[in-house]
């Protein structure tokens, strides 16, 4: 690679996507992929070790997901900028990622030249956002759910009972039901399943 190239770490839980993104970006003379991570925790370890210029981060990964990994990365390695590259083009994810300190947010089906350009712009200190998603985010409103409401809704997504959720989060079943009820009201849903679906569609959980 040429001297002064932009050094990258790519975090994505799908090996094929990871490899494809790495191969595409390595074709650019001024970009160098120095590490590939399968989840958020591994991304943090690689960033600590390699101090790349930019980390390309997926959103939905096992264990430490992309938004939380971005928040942790920016706290511990502020010199590394984060570009979210995701399949999930949801306004709530865009807002969460920017709040966590990401410098950019684009979707995986973007052309290769657009992705490379986004990396360069993020490295230069600019913010890069998918235009349609940014516009939608402006009109969709901020995430109305509290952190605890998001937590119990995520756990409710697989159909588990309030008692089962309570055991996981060390709260009483009554408190969990209160949080679920508040989440149902804030999403405008008619029931718990509907609330989960709305929150997922908007990227709030």
Over the stretch 46-56, which tens digit does the pLDDT of each residue have?
Answer: 999 999 999 99
In this structure, the answer to whether residues 31 and 88 fall within a common structural domain is: yes
In this structure, the answer to whether residues 129 and 154 fall within a common structural domain is: no
Min mean pLDDT across 21-25, 36-40, 111-115, 184-188 is at 184-188
In this structure, the answer to whether residues 85 and 160 fall within a common structural domain is: no
Residue 173 lies in a domain: yes
Q: What percent of the chain has pLDDT over 70?
A: 92
Rounded to the nearest 10 degrees, what angle do helices 147-156 and 162-169 cross at? 130
Q: What is the mean pLDDT of the chain?
A: 88
Check which CATH number belongs to the domain holding 176 and give it. Answer: 1.10.10.10
Residue 12 lies in a domain: yes
In this structure, the answer to whether residues 29 and 118 fall within a common structural domain is: yes
**55 - beta bridge partners?**
9, 82
pLDDT at 134: 61
Q: Is 60 exceeded by the pLDDT of residue 2?
A: no
Three-state secondary-structure class, residue 57: strand
Strands 6-11 and 54-57, bridge-based pairing: parallel
Over the stretch 141-154, which tens digit does the pLDDT of each residue have?
Answer: 567 888 899 899 99
Predicted TM-score (pTM) of this structure: 0.67
**86 - beta bridge partners?**
107
In this structure, the answer to whether residues 98 and 135 fall within a common structural domain is: yes
Q: Where are the strands (E) in 48-107, listed by range?
A: 54-57, 81-86, 104-107
Three-state secondary-structure class, residue 59: coil
pLDDT at 1: 44
What is the DSSP-derived secondary structure letter of residue 157?
Answer: T
Q: Is 90 exceeded by the pLDDT of residue 41?
A: yes
Check which CATH number belongs to the domain holding 39 and give it. Answer: 3.40.50.2300
Tokens of 165: 């959720």
Over the stretch 159-182, which tens digit does the pLDDT of each residue have?
Answer: 889 999 999 899 999 999 999 988
In this structure, the answer to whether residues 102 and 18 fall within a common structural domain is: yes
- Lookup result for tokens 């149902």: 184
Q: Is 90 exceeded by the pLDDT of residue 186?
A: no
**Domain count of the fold of the chain:** 2
pLDDT at 141: 59
Final residue of a domain: which of 117, 139, 161? Answer: 139
């Amino acid at each position: 690679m040429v001297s002064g190239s932009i050094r990258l770490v790519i975090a994505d839980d799908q090996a094929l996507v990871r490899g494809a993104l790495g191969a595409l970006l390595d074709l650019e003379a001024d970009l160098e992929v120095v590490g590939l991570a399968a989840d958020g925790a591994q991304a943090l370890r690689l960033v600590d070790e390699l101090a790349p210029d930019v980390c390309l981060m997926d959103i939905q990964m096992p264990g430490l997901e992309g938004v939380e990994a971005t928040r942790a990365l920016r706290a511990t390695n502020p010199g590394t900028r984060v570009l979210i590259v995701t399949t999930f083009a949801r306004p709530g994810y865009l807002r969460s990622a920017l709040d966590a300190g990401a410098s950019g947010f684009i979707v995986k089906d973007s052309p290769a030249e657009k992705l490379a350009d986004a990396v360069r712009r993020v490295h230069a200190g600019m913010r890069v956002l998918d235009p349609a998603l940014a516009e939608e985010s402006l009109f969709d409103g901020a995430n109305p759910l509290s952190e605890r409401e998001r937590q119990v809704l995520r756990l409710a997504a697989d159909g588990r009972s309030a008692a089962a959720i309570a055991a996981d989060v060390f709260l009483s079943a009554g408190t969990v039901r209160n949080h679920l009820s508040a989440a149902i009201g804030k999403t405008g849903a008619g029931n718990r399943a509907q609330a989960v679906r709305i929150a997922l569609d908007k990227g709030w959980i």
